[in-house]
């Protein structure tokens, strides 16, 4: 695996299962067992009822683009080799939003409400990043 020079996620004890799941290509999100709220990003407590009685569920990995931007130029950073790239907010089928990249298509083809599914980018031995690609129907 080639050297990865971009910033890496900071793992917390409560986000460890999420990152371990990504490594196995399982897209895990939390669900409160007391009030049934689906939760993303990983938290120690339910943001609605403050319960710590949270479970991990396997998400479908499918969602729709809520909003996005195409990054064409930026001051020199570790992400320069990726230009242009898409940063998107994705509504997951389970009812939570997450920010990620849309890959596997031309940035100009991305649009709001586009159906996407997760794909895992294995960047290091420890980390796989969940990114999204268009669902071709
Ligand atoms: Zn709750």
62-93 pLDDT tens trace = 999 999 999 998 677 888 889 999 999 999 99
Distances (CA, A) of 85 to 16, 19, 69, 71, 92: 27, 23, 8, 5, 21
Separation of CA 54 and ligand 1 centre (Å) = 8
**Cβ atoms 20, 125 nearer than 8 A:** no
Separation of CA 105 and ligand 1 centre (Å) = 37
Q: Give the residues across from 90 on adjacent strands.
A: 65, 98
pTM of model > 0.75: yes
Q: pLDDT tens across 108-135, in order?
A: 999 999 999 999 999 999 999 999 999 9
């Amino acid at each position: 695996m080639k050297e990865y020079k971009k910033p890496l996620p900071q793992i917390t004890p409560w986000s460890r299962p999420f990152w371990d799941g990504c490594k196995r290509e399982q897209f895990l999100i939390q669900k409160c067992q007391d009030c049934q709220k689906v939760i993303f990003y990983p938290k120690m407590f339910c943001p609605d009822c403050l319960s710590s009685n949270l479970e991990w569920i396997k998400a479908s990995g499918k969602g729709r683009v809520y909003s996005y931007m195409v990054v064409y130029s930026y001051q020199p950073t570790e992400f320069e080799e990726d230009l242009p790239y898409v940063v998107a907010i994705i509504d997951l089928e389970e009812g939570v939003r997450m920010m990620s990249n849309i890959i596997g298509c031309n940035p100009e083809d991305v649009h709001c409400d586009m159906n996407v599914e997760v794909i895992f980018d294995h960047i290091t031995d420890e980390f796989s990043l969940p990114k999204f690609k268009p669902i071709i129907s």
